[in-house]
Amino acid sequence: MPRSTLLTPKRLLFLLPLLLFLLLTPWLAKLAQARPDSPAPAAQTAGWERVWRGEGYLYDLVALDAQNAVGVGSDGLIISTSNGGDTWHYQAPFPELDLRNVAAAGLRLWAVAENGVVITSDDGGGSWRQLGAAQPSPLHGVFFDDANRGWIVGGNGLIRMSEDGGQTWTDQASGVSSTLRAVAFSGDGEHGVVVGDGGVILTTGDHGQTWTRRSGVTAADLHDVSMVGSAILAVGAGDVVLLSDDDGESWQVKQASTGADLYAVVFVPGQSRIAWVAGLDGALAKTTNGGGSWARVTAIAGDEMPGRDLYALAAGSGAAVWAGGSVITENDGAWGGPVNPRSWFIWQTDDGATWRHNIGGHYPRWFAIVAASEDVAYAVGDHLVALKTEDGGYSWRELYQELRSDPATGGAADDYRSWLMAIQCAPGNPDDCHAVGRFGLILHTTDGGQTWKREYAPGYG
């Protein structure tokens, strides 16, 4: 029979700390989880996502209709609107990719990257996935005429066709080794055209089974092409516009009267006579006679045109057109770098005649953000720049003209005096907000940012 163990005072002193530790451990663990300064679990940390990035290039735009458009660019940039450009949703599911071109067939989209990767969306651009392994050459152009059949073009004369939505690809012999930049097909899916460096023009009348080179038209590098029926427009370096009305059998060489290298061209949907071209230094022009003559856009409300390089065009209807590209950011202060980065932007016309600045990345100067409610937030920066979201950060719109609604604000809008450094909203009222900046700048809105009134602190004004 075992001997009984006596709890002597000495043994009690030894066991008490151990007993307290065992009793308190669960409670301490709960307390640590509840403390606001405790390190977040890995799953919570991983829950953060970027909702905006201002730096970079917008290389291409495609319109699904007058309300829906999608753009792609550098560092995986994908920007989309579902309300005609009122708000834009930013995402970068593949930040390592420079996305050069995007195509749509219904709600299905495809985008191609500089490193040969093809990505696709099945839901109008909401989510994206990669299609197979990277192609053997850099990709610059993509076109699909339905959800299954499409083409990609790129470096070293690459042309490939898919008949299963991009799951698999078969080579089509181009007969050239030049870099091919763009591809387009007519509504019948049989007649198509590819353009590229050194004035390369290739046409087909059999779905691309054979391609014929059209020589002697131009030596200019060609950057983009658009096709409606048998009408084709191609654009390139030196303000060159090429037009054909017979599926590319014959060509005319024109100028768009912009004096700039042109990078984008698009026909208005359902039209073979109305089209737009765009290029460097804000070059933007319209034709109403199939490319025979062009009228240049000379002003953009809210933007200076020189220095804003356009690479992208999309037409949702005869009236709704978007243009986008990149601009070197201004530097009103010491930002630590010898070269200012570039920032993407989008222009828009709603009537096919007058253009305005729609939205921009505005890298790098966002100075403050406030969550005015569970869904509403504002971000402010320099040059009277502000963004607003009303859906918890999913999509944003720029408050540009709104911030300039008070004439008293005008003189502070163009230099370091316009830096908005902070913003705050009244408790429980996301419509009543004050934004403040340098040199006594105070702006007040009571209608959710639709209009702003300049106010003055004692000693200013």
pLDDT at 411: 57
pLDDT at 438: 86
Dist CA 360 CA 401 (whole Å): 13
Dist CA 133 CA 265 (whole Å): 30
**Sheet with strand 397-398: strands edge to edge:** 366-371, 377-381, 386-389, 397-398
Boundaries of every domain in the chain: 58-360, 366-455
pLDDT, mean of each 10-residue run, the chain (461 residues): 43 41 38 34 57 94 97 98 97 97 98 98 98 97 98 99 98 98 95 99 98 98 98 99 98 98 97 97 98 96 91 93 92 59 94 93 84 97 91 95 82 67 97 93 96 88 59
Residue 107: left (phi > 0), alpha (psi -120 to 50), or beta?
alpha
Q: CA torsion angle for 369, 373, 375, 376 (degrees, to 10)? A: -50
Thinking of the domain 58-360, which architecture would CATH place it in? 7 Propeller (2.130)
Closest CA to 193 of 163, 235, 185: 185
Give the pairing of strands 212-213 and 397-398: unpaired
pLDDT at 43: 33
Give the predicted TM-score (pTM) of the model. 0.87
Helix, strand, coil shares of the chain as percentages rounded to 5?
Answer: 15, 40, 45
DSSP character at residue 303: B
The verdict on whether omega for the bond into residue 458 sits within 30 degrees of 0, i.e. cis, is no
> What string of DSSP letters covers 308-319?
EEEEEEEESSSS
Dist CA 399 CA 140 (whole Å): 34
Q: Nearest 5°: phi and psi at 88?
A: -130, 140
DSSP character at residue 55: B
> What string of DSSP letters covers 277-288?
EEEGGG-EEEES
> At 61, which helix (H) or strand (E)?
strand 58-63
- Contact yes or no for 76/97 (Cβ under 8 A): yes
Closest CA to 164 of 151, 148, 152, 150: 148
Closest CA to 241 of 191, 295, 315: 295
Q: Nearest 5°: phi and psi at 250?
A: -135, 155
Helices (H), 213-344: none
Q: Report the DSSP beta bridge partners of residue 141.
A: 153
> What tokens were used for 336?
């630590």
Dist CA 367 CA 414 (whole Å): 17
Dist CA 81 CA 208 (whole Å): 33
